[in-house]
Structure 1
Amino acid sequence: MAGLLSKGTRKHMKVSLHLLIALTGLISVLLHILYSPAPFASMTKFTIHANLFITLTFSVSAVTMLFKRTESKLLDFCKNASLIYILVGLLTYHFLLSSGGTYTGPRIITNFTLHYLIPVLVLLNWMMFEEKKSYHYKYVVYWLGFPVLYCAVSLIRGLFDGFYPYFFLNPHGTIPAGVGSYTNVTLFIIGFAFVFSIFGFLLIITYKAILSYKKSS
């Protein structure tokens, strides 16, 4: 791609894709919550939080490029985090949660955009436009910060109002309502942390492989 397009064309395409991701994310989140029969429950979902994180990240990145400024290390960090979060969210929804409910009206579309379209667009952006840089493996731990914080806040809030956004975070009841104990909740959180870590390691290993190939070619 880099050899086929001019630097200016690549930048315009990158900005356009960033704006598409940000606008799609923002509109989808708003409509998904607005048309939800339980707006509060919708607002607590990790998919909503991850897509808001992506919307903010790609909006800031697009504005940064439009003003011809260099993207910061924090933006690079957030873009990589976005890729990890949304891909894990896609897999979790598709294989664990998609059979748990049905959608009507606009939420049929927003469910698709939030869980499938935006992950594909974020992955496409990473493949086509993002500079491949070397990252230390310690970044895997940093990228875990947001998911772990999300789980902690969800559990603390559940202690007060009894609501948990996902069955695997609910220590009460049995599947499909909950998992029966805090021990089981902890095991689920450790399992998800492992999945997030694997994606982080794979991302760093992929970067190293790409950079190594470029040096040797």
Structure 2
Amino acid sequence: MRTVFGVLRIVAAGVILTAIIAQLLHSLTFDLPDVSFFFANFFSFFTIQSNVLAAVSLLVGAWYCFTQPKDPPWFSLALAATVTYMATTGVVYNLLLRQVSLDQVSTLGWSNEILHLVAPIYLMLVWLFSPGRTPVPWNRLGVIVVYPVVWSIYTMLRGALTGWYPYPFLNPAQPGSYGAVVVYILAIASVILLTGAGVVWLSRRRMPAT
């Protein structure tokens, strides 16, 4: 059974990486005024970063499926964090950004759906049904929220220097200025914390049979 899930993880990682590369190459077909700035912007999206983490986690997880009867604790924590970020990506995009045009030059429709809907759902299914998962201790919940905090600080500092923000709700030029940005950040932080808590709780329920 672990072998089957290992193969599925490889396939899913390939689909995610294909979606990322396809969007990148599609955007590069346009006449970009500053290609290096575009690259920095592209890989500053939380969506892109979380999907890269998802692809890497799935490939590492596939290797463990082929070689070990259970995932090591460090990997279960890393996968729990990745599942949290992907679930947050799906929720935030589909609630706040689905009708918003982001700075991608031109969004590739099928790639967009994979990165914002299909992949988050798949990662949740991986977490729920993959055999060999080990429980994540509750005291590791703080580790899960470190990356989003660092990303938020990086994004706001870079935005202040360049004037570019990956998502409109992070731009202080919006109505409400920094006050509105703080409200959005706190709301999303709450989603991440609650999602992370749910992911940890699920890991401590009955494990799928190996």
For the aligned pair, the TM-score class normalised by the smaller chain equals: 0.7 to 0.9
Aligned structure 1 segments of 4 or more residues deviating by more than 4 angstroms: 67-70, 102-106
1:180 equivalent to 2:177? Answer yes
Instruction: Name the CA distance, whole Å, in 2 between partners of 1:133 and 1:60.
Output: 15
**Cα RMSD (Å):** 2.6
**TM-score, with normalisation over the residues of structure 1?**
0.80
What are the ranges of 5 or more consecutive residues in structure 1 without an aligned counterpart? 1-9
Higher relative contact order (CA 8 A, sep 6+): 2
1:27 counterpart residue number: 18
Q: For residues 128-174 of structure 1, what are the alpha-carbon distances to aligned partners after superposition, in whole Å with 9 as ceiling and x for unaligned?
A: 21445443333222111111111111111112111111122212243
Instruction: Name the CA distance, whole Å, in 2 between partners of 1:133 and 1:66.
Output: 16
Displacement of 1:66 after TM fit? 3.2
Displacement of 1:114 after TM fit? 0.7
Going from structure 1 to structure 2, the CA distance change for 1:184 and 1:138 (only over 3 Å counts) comes to farther
Secondary structure of the 1:163 match is coil
Report the residue type matching 1:115 in the other structure: H
Instruction: Name the CA distance, whole Å, in 2 between partners of 1:50 and 1:114.
Output: 9
1:39-78 maps to which residues of 2 (within 5 A)?
A: 39-40=38-39, 41-68=41-68, 71-78=71-78
Asked if the contact 1:33–1:43 (Cα under 8 Å) also holds between the matched residues in 2, the reply is: no
Instruction: Name the CA distance, whole Å, in 1 between partners of 2:69 and 2:12.
Output: 20
1:198 counterpart residue number: 194
Report the residue type matching 2:91 in the other structure: L
Instruction: Name the CA distance, whole Å, in 1 between partners of 2:131 and 2:85.
Output: 17
Instruction: Name the CA distance, whole Å, in 2 between partners of 1:74 and 1:132.
Output: 11
1:119-134 maps to which residues of 2 (within 5 A)?
A: 119-131=120-132, 133-134=134-135
Q: For residues 37-92 of structure 1, what are the alpha-carbon distances to aligned partners after superposition, in whole Å with 9 as ceiling and x for unaligned?
A: 57444332111000001111111222333344863322111111121111111111
Asked if the contact 1:164–1:170 (Cα under 8 Å) also holds between the matched residues in 2, the reply is: yes
Residues paired across the two proteins, number: 198
Instruction: Name the CA distance, whole Å, in 2 between partners of 1:165 and 1:74.
Output: 30
**TM-score, with normalisation over the residues of structure 2?**
0.82
Asked if the contact 1:31–1:106 (Cα under 8 Å) also holds between the matched residues in 2, the reply is: no
1:137 counterpart residue number: 138
1:158-169 maps to which residues of 2 (within 5 A)?
A: 158-169=159-170
Secondary structure of the 2:186 match is helix
Going from structure 1 to structure 2, the CA distance change for 1:77 and 1:135 (only over 3 Å counts) comes to closer
User: Which range moves more in the overlay, 129-138 or 83-92?
Assistant: 129-138
Instruction: Name the CA distance, whole Å, in 1 between partners of 2:167 and 2:106.
Output: 23
User: Which range moves more in the overlay, 104-113 or 13-22?
Assistant: 104-113
Asked if the contact 1:21–1:122 (Cα under 8 Å) also holds between the matched residues in 2, the reply is: no
The share of aligned pairs that are identical, in percent, is: 20
Going from structure 1 to structure 2, the CA distance change for 1:136 and 1:74 (only over 3 Å counts) comes to closer
Going from structure 1 to structure 2, the CA distance change for 1:78 and 1:35 (only over 3 Å counts) comes to same
1:89 equivalent to 2:96? Answer no
Secondary structure of the 1:84 match is helix
Asked if the contact 2:71–2:134 (Cα under 8 Å) also holds between the matched residues in 1, the reply is: no
Asked if the contact 1:65–1:71 (Cα under 8 Å) also holds between the matched residues in 2, the reply is: yes
Asked if the contact 1:17–1:125 (Cα under 8 Å) also holds between the matched residues in 2, the reply is: no
Displacement of 1:34 after TM fit? 1.7
